[in-house]
Chains A and B, each alone.
Chain A
Amino acid sequence: MTHQHPALTAEQKKELSDIALRIVAPGKGILAADESVGSMAKRLNQIGVENTEENRRLYRQILFSADSRVKKCIGGVIFFHETMYQKADDGTPFVQMIKDKGIVVGIKVDKGVVPLAGTDGETTTQGLDGLWERCAQYKKDGADFAKWRCVLKISEHTPSALAIMENANVLARYASICQQNGIVPIVEPEILPDGDHDLKRCQYVTEKVLAAVYKALSDHHVYLEGTLLKPNMVTPGHSCPTKYSPEEIAMATVTALRRTVPPAVPGVTFLSGGQSEEEASINLNAINTCPLVRPWALTFSYGRALQASALSAWRGQRDNAEAATEEFVKRAEVNGLAALGKYEGSGDDSGAAGQSLYVANHAY
């Protein structure tokens, strides 16, 4: 074994590292606006809006028209392919609007989950074919980072060793290809919150999955300083009878990350999963006040948890556009504070009261 074939030059590494640091600069996180056409159908359906290309354009325009207040709390926006090539009413390409705010443009590049034969409903994610060429084109068209989502689920016998290994491997292949094209890969190994498992179980599974992910990234010679991680927070399953406090969730989450994520990774941008807007902010804040040493940025990459109120304020009416944008800005600012551990909550609990609820970490 010798260092005969460096994957990246020093210049390539610097470019990737700089991009990653800009996205997760202090107080900033990511707006995940990359819902596929199929996912958008569900969102628009809920507010009684038809799933047309124009409606999807109008809706994203609401988010991207946010004023300069978002500059301090949004470091990156993830686009779906269609959206990369859409424009605002005045003809400005969406990519341009985002870049003009000093925000980094990202692109979802996976092509969805496919079944793993011989497993109990487990999946891997496809999209590697021609990924090199697609990344090169997206880079020319303004994207500097990408996202690829893998999915695992907890049940009595899952995730299986195959599912963990295969998803970690495909994430590493994707990451390797992105970096060759000057694109920072966000690595997303989502463990679904479906089920009745408790917090400890989710923590255990998260630790095993992340250990496999980082071994695969090492095996594939991925430059960690030029990546970001988009994991689930460690939470109990949706149907778990026990309720846990934000501090317990934070402690379990940070402990799991401390045991698996090397310090070279500049940032961890949590997905919100099924959490409400307020839950997602409160939990992120607790994570950022957790008394364990955390060498990476811990911030958000939220879809629903940034957009739910904006979506329901809009309801497809142009007249509601400004009010809807305002809802989005509000959540963006709240999460920017949460990423700094400075969000006091929507009213009741003050920050100080929350801190005393931390249990010593040896229980995790």
Chain B
Amino acid sequence: MSPPVPALTPEQKKELAAIRIVAPGKGILAADESTGSIAKRLSSVGAENTEENRRWYRQLLFTADKRVEPCIGGVILFHETMYQKADDGRPFPQVIRDKGALVGIKVDKGVVPLAGTNGETTTQGLDGLMERCAQYKKDGADFAKWRCVLKITAHTPTPLAVMENANVLARYASICQQVPNGIVPIVEPEILPDGDHDLKTCQYVTEKVLAAVYKALSDHHVYLEGTLLKPNMVTAGHACATKYSPEEIAMATVTALRRTVPPAVPGITFLSGGQSEEEASLNLNAINRCPLPRPWALTFSYGRALQASALKAWAGKKDNTKAAQEEFVKRALANSLACQGKYTPSGTAGAAASESLFVSNHAY
């Protein structure tokens, strides 16, 4: 093994302050829906997909009152949103930073097919990524996000899909960290909940995928302390006949992470996938009450699970702005409690009740 050329100087390492995003009680608002994705959301509440509507809707989220400040450590933006402004003329990145949160930017360019597979994909976006990230950094971004997608069927994910997606995530992460003054890469290897597989199957696949991701990050000399992981929680497939409790989901999730994610990673920010707002909060809470030692922060990076009620309350009408913001604040507060294991939805028994529902870990 030839003498290593260090990828980062000590100063560069310091800059990659992933820890600030996942400070206790904080998580991420994923507001980075592409124009195509946001079209679906807006049409579901009868709003037109215009640039102004998109601007107004994001402004609604970003100007919620200061109750959200202790709950949101970072906001992920889509490219268009980085360059939009609030009514008062402040660029959105500034609005977000003024509230004490860091600005993130989605940098991937979507999935593309892997030939010779059963509908599997990799993700593109590496071309010119260094230059794009350098510009985003100048324009106020401190972290980035890149989403890869895998799915569970009888024969997938294949070794090719696992290897290729792990590799492209590692290339993206390596480039982000080389940007002058540092961009923290959030690494997202999403395993879709589509299918009828059970909890054990999802756990097994998640462990294999994450092992490959961390080997690739090691091979590409990525500085783990300056990254975050955005995985799926371990859940059964949507069409699975068996229902699992939040404690079972928590135990399977934390076990999978304990077997694959090195302690150097400062935080794990779960995606919500197809979960409802309440499900996503209850599961995150159970994860944070799980009796297994967890050396990383375990928090949220939620899109729909933070916005669904706000979107519905807004329904495209400016008059509904305050009501919509209130819905968002409610979810932000709930998830802030959940990432500390302190969330008790009204009408249910207290926290102590849920502890007895954890089964001992050797079954996983």
Contact = CB atoms under 8 A, between A and B. Distances in A.
Contact of B262 (A164, A204, A225, A259): A259
B207 A10 contact: no
Interface string B141-169: 00000000000101111100010000000
A2 B262 contact: no
A1 B208 contact: yes
B200 A3 contact: yes
A238 interface: no
B362 interface: yes
Given A1-B208, A362-B13, A159 B1 contact: yes
B293 interface: yes
Nearest to A2: B201
A204 B14 CA distance: 19
Contacts of A264: 255, 258-259
Contacts of B204: 1-3
A344 to B, nearest CB: 28
B211 A218 contact: yes
Interface stretch (A207-215, A242-250, A270-278, A279-287): A207-215
A33 B211 CA distance: 34
Contacts of B203: 3
A10 B294 contact: no
Contacts, number: 105
Contact of A218 (B224, B260, B261): B260
A201 B4 contact: yes
Instruction: Tell me the dominant secondary structure on chain A's binding face.
Output: helix
Contact of B208 (A160, A218, A224, A255): A218
B45 to A, nearest CB: 38
A24 to B, nearest CB: 14
Given A160-B1, A263-B258, A293-B295, A17 B264 contact: no
Contacts of B258: 262-264
Interface residues of A, number: 43
A262 B262 CA distance: 5
Contacts of A294: 263
Given A1-B152, A1-B205, A2-B152, A214 B211 contact: yes
A10 B362 CA distance: 6
Contact of B3 (A2, A156, A293): A156
Interface string A107-132: 00000000000000000000000000
Interface in B220-262: 224-225, 255, 258-262
Interface of A: 1-3, 10, 13-14, 17, 154, 156-161, 164, 200-201, 204-205, 207-208, 211-212, 214-215, 218-219, 224-225, 255, 258-264, 293-295, 361-363
Interface of B: 1-4, 6, 10, 13-14, 152, 154-158, 162, 197, 200-201, 203-205, 207-208, 211-212, 214-215, 218-219, 224-225, 255, 258-264, 293-295, 361-363
